[in-house]
Amino acid sequence: MKTMAGKTCSRFTNHTPLPQGPHVVGATDIMIGRTKDGTLMRLYYPSKLTDLMSHTEKWTPWFLGEEYTRGLASFIAPSIPSLFSMLFNWQMRGVATPAVWGAPVTDRKFPVIVFSHGLSAHRSIYSTVCTELASHGFFVAAVEHRDRSACASFTLNETGEKEYMLFKTTPLDMKEYELRNQQIKIRVEESIRALNVLEMLNEGKVKNELSSDFDLQQLHGHLDLTYPIMTGHSFGGVTAISTLAKDKRFKVGVALDPWMFPIKDEVDNIGPNVTQPLMCISTEAFQSIANLQAMGKLNKTTTEFITIKGTVHQNQCDTPFLVGHIGRVFVGASSPLDPQTAMDINNRLMLNFIAKHIGDQGTTINTYVPYLEIQQDNMVYGLHGKGKAMLGWDEGYTSV
């Protein structure tokens, strides 16, 4: 069975898995507004190009800069930040995302997806999921949150220089829940603004504040906003859930391993308000009893739950493909199930659920049902989990 793995190219030492859809994926960064009240996103999209492998020199660099590494180190390796940063920078500078930077946009019209990242993540780290979706005919806006839950992000000052904001650890005088609950409210507004930006891009009414050769007018009239889709992972998963409850322009949702802690005192109100079709795709090692109980308060008439067996939390992002076996053990990304198989199942579950609820819409995403049938032994339907990652929920444990 074909997977999404691929070979390296001359410019880069490594790359995330190749997308398997029929469209060659393009990518560009877009900033609308220079302050944190604006929007920063990486847009993945179907391009006019026909051969991904003939454009490897123009693939998208995965690495975003040393500022992002410093923020990540404060979360993952606070006791050895300098050593972690040195090793991470060395390992990641040569990594590519197999999406052609600034490729010309397709002439066709396709649906839109907003993707919200997890705690200490950024707009690049879910490239495997986002490029796969885009390769099947979606414009995917990977938002970079500026609530300081990302490992880093930036705004622009009056002279156009970048001003960075790094990951915020919990202050000693603040409880974990208080901080994360404040952040999720910002995240929801940023996700809603991202959809606003997509609408404006489709109308040809916005200016990119970032220096770029990519002409935003290419997007004019090519975004199908009939069925916007809201997705995300971990903190982004619960951001997706909360956004669906607030903004009914989003018609379908997919929450990957949603970390329910940031809304634990509000889930009784938020859960029933998610009336759109929602699929929660969980990893087995992450889900605790408390988290599953909170997920159980989601609208049962519109929500489907599925767990991929033998998986860990990091199986739904790029991490397992960026580091070797020792690195996966160090960052908690080592899983009993092969990372490529885990990612294949995850992405194909997403694609088929979306297809089920929005129809064809010009996409080509109904081809993976036989693959999922073969993988039935690796899936559990309904709420399920072994709870290793969320012990200490009541104390605000944040291994997400």
DSSP code at position 382: S
Three-state DSSP class for 68? Answer: helix
Q: Which of 281, 337, 339 is nearest to 309 (CA)?
A: 337
163-192 average pLDDT score: 96
Q: Which of 303, 357, 313, 353 is nearest to 333 (CA)?
A: 313
397 confidence band (pLDDT: 50, 70, 90):
very low
User: Side-chain half-sphere of 316: how many Cα atoms within 13 Å?
Assistant: 37
Tell me: the pLDDT tens digits for 340-356? Answer: 999 999 999 999 999 99
pLDDT, residue 81, reads: 83
Query: Does the pLDDT of residue 263 top 90, yes or no?
Result: yes
62 confidence band (pLDDT: 50, 70, 90):
very high
Tell me: the pLDDT tens digits for 179-203? Answer: 999 999 999 999 999 999 999 999 9
Helices (H) and strands (E) in the chain, counts: 11, 14
Contact 234, 390 (CB under 8 A): no
> In the block, which residue shows the tokens 């699929």?
279
pLDDT, residue 367, reads: 63
395 confidence band (pLDDT: 50, 70, 90):
very low
pLDDT, residue 64, reads: 96
DSSP code at position 360: -
Spatial separation of the C-alpha atoms in residues 7 and 372, rounded to whole Å: 25
Q: What is the pTM of this model?
A: 0.92
Query: Does the pLDDT of residue 154 top 60, yes or no?
Result: yes
Q: Which residues contact 300 (CB under 8 A, 6 or more apart)?
A: none
Question: Which range, of 14-18, 72-76, 272-276, averages the lowest pLDDT?
Answer: 72-76
pLDDT, residue 162, reads: 96
Q: Which of 116, 75, 119, 262 is nearest to 180 (CA)?
A: 262
Query: Does the pLDDT of residue 87 top 50, yes or no?
Result: yes
Question: What letters, b where the CB count within 10 A reaches 16 and e where it falls short, cover 285-301?
Answer: bbbbebbbebbebbbee
Query: Which residue has better confidence, 158 or 360?
Result: 158
Question: Which range, of 8-12, 130-134, 135-139, averages the lowest pLDDT?
Answer: 8-12
Active site residues: 234, 257, 313
